[in-house]
Amino acid sequence: MALALVSIFISIPLASCFPTAFQELVETDKNRTSIKFLAIGDWGGVPYPPYITAVQKATAQEMSKIAEQVGADFVLALGDNFYYKGVNSVDSPRFKATFELVYTAKSLKIPWYVVAGNHDHVGNVKAQIEYSQRSNRWCFPAYYYELNFRIPNTHKTLTIIMLDTVMLCGNSNDYSDAQPKGPLRQVDANRQLVWLQDRMARSKADFLLVAGHYPVWSVSEHGPTQCLLQQLHPLLIKHNATAYLCGHDHNLQYIEESGVGYVVSGAGNFLDPDVRHWNHVPKGSVKFFTGQASTLGGFVHAEVAQDKMTVTFYQAKGTSLYRIVLPQRKLD
């Protein structure tokens, strides 16, 4: 497997997915002092007509409302972008049926920064990367990559490290609580891990986020991912990461442990109230959980300001469910 990695420096507003160099900020709102984004995982429809689910449709509609009312500069798409077997080529009709024709609101015509999930890896992830050349908002430059933002009208910065947790840990059986079986190619997993260690060690960002598909901590069907507990968890703590965002389990969760926020946003297409691993996370760490069908779906909105990051969980039927404020990162 040919491996690509990239570090991207971006200013707000975003004229394109990936400017070739860091640009001076040209801001239309001179009073603005934050970056806002949505995070959604496991949103990828179904492989038969109408190619979407009721949860995906309802969630897309509420995402568009929140993006319009509260604001959003981009979307983090946290994997399982196309159920059940990804796409087979860049010409797959699923890009249109499950993505372009679902998230149609003007407020969602913003960059979507994409990582692959386990279902995507059953298909052709390279085709999803190639689709970045076909769409002006589908931004998937490599299996894993880094995003760097300057918060408008401040000297503060935000870094988001986008991981391919399937390449790192292996694929999983999505129909059981089985753990990933180990990477398909150990050399690729090792290369990504070395890159991750280097990027986190170098980061001087005021807010440092890491995003991937598999959870580090989760109380639901798939539970904590042992591979990530061994390889990623120590790095998040060592380097004072602000938060880790993921999907995989089809619900919304907020878990806080050792000063790091763990955000599960996997309610974009299906809902699962399963809590079989409630006792497999640190006692008292679960601050919020919902996977109830009555929510109609859900997603996360985040705002990164000068000295804090506010994370809000929304249900598709139109109300916020939980909000947490995370402090600026402490640098040694």
Question: Is there a binding annotation on residue 136?
Answer: no
Q: Give 216-231 pLDDT, tens digit per residue.
A: 999 999 999 999 999 9
Q: Give 276-313 pLDDT, tens digit per residue.
A: 999 999 999 999 999 999 999 999 999 999 999 999 99
Question: Is there a binding annotation on residue 213?
Answer: yes
pLDDT at 29: 63
What's phi and psi for 54, nearest 5 deg? -60, -35
User: Is 19 inside a domain boundary?
Assistant: no
What is the residue-wise DSSP string for 47-116? SSTT-S-HHHHHHHHHHHHHHHHT--SEEEE-S--STTT--SSTT-THIIIIIITTS-SGGG-S-EEE--
Share the mean pLDDT of the chain: 91
Query: Is the separation of the CB atoms in 200 and 161 below 8 Å?
Result: yes
Higher pLDDT, 23 or 4: 4
DSSP-based three-state secondary structure for 173:
coil
Q: Which two tokens stand for residue 296?
A: 């109609």
- pLDDT of 19 strictly over 70: no
User: Is 28 inside a domain boundary?
Assistant: no
Number of domains in the chain: 1
Question: Is there a binding annotation on residue 42?
Answer: yes
Q: Which two tokens stand for residue 298?
A: 């859900």
Query: Is the separation of the CB atoms in 42 and 78 below 8 Å?
Result: yes
User: Is 304 inside a domain boundary?
Assistant: yes
pLDDT at 197: 98
Question: Is there a binding annotation on residue 249?
Answer: no
Given pLDDT bands bounded at 50, 70 and 90, which one contains residue 13?
A: very low
User: Is 157 inside a domain boundary?
Assistant: yes
Q: How far is 280 from 217, CA to CA, in rounded Å?
A: 8
Question: Is there a binding annotation on residue 190?
Answer: no
Q: Give 184-238 pLDDT, tens digit per residue.
A: 899 999 999 999 999 999 999 999 999 999 999 999 999 999 999 999 999 999 9
User: Is 21 inside a domain boundary?
Assistant: no
User: Is 25 inside a domain boundary?
Assistant: no
Question: Is there a binding annotation on residue 248?
Answer: yes
CATH number for the domain that contains residue 81:
3.60.21.10
Q: How far is 87 from 92, CA to CA, in rounded Å?
A: 6
Given pLDDT bands bounded at 50, 70 and 90, which one contains residue 264?
A: very high
- pLDDT of 30 strictly over 80: no
Q: How far is CA 150 from the centre of its chain?
A: 19
Q: How far is 279 from 307, CA to CA, in rounded Å?
A: 33
- pLDDT of 15 strictly over 90: no
Question: Is there a binding annotation on residue 80?
Answer: yes
Q: Give 114-158 pLDDT, tens digit per residue.
A: 999 999 999 999 999 999 999 999 999 999 999 999 999 999 999
For residue 109, the enclosing domain spans 5-12+33-327
Given pLDDT bands bounded at 50, 70 and 90, which one contains residue 7?
A: low
Cα–Cα separations (whole angstroms), residue 244 to 92, 226, 261, 277, 299: 31, 15, 6, 19, 15
DSSP-based three-state secondary structure for 271:
coil
User: Is 273 inside a domain boundary?
Assistant: yes
**Bridge partners (DSSP) listed for residue 290:** 252
- Give the global pTM: 0.93
User: Is 213 inside a domain boundary?
Assistant: yes
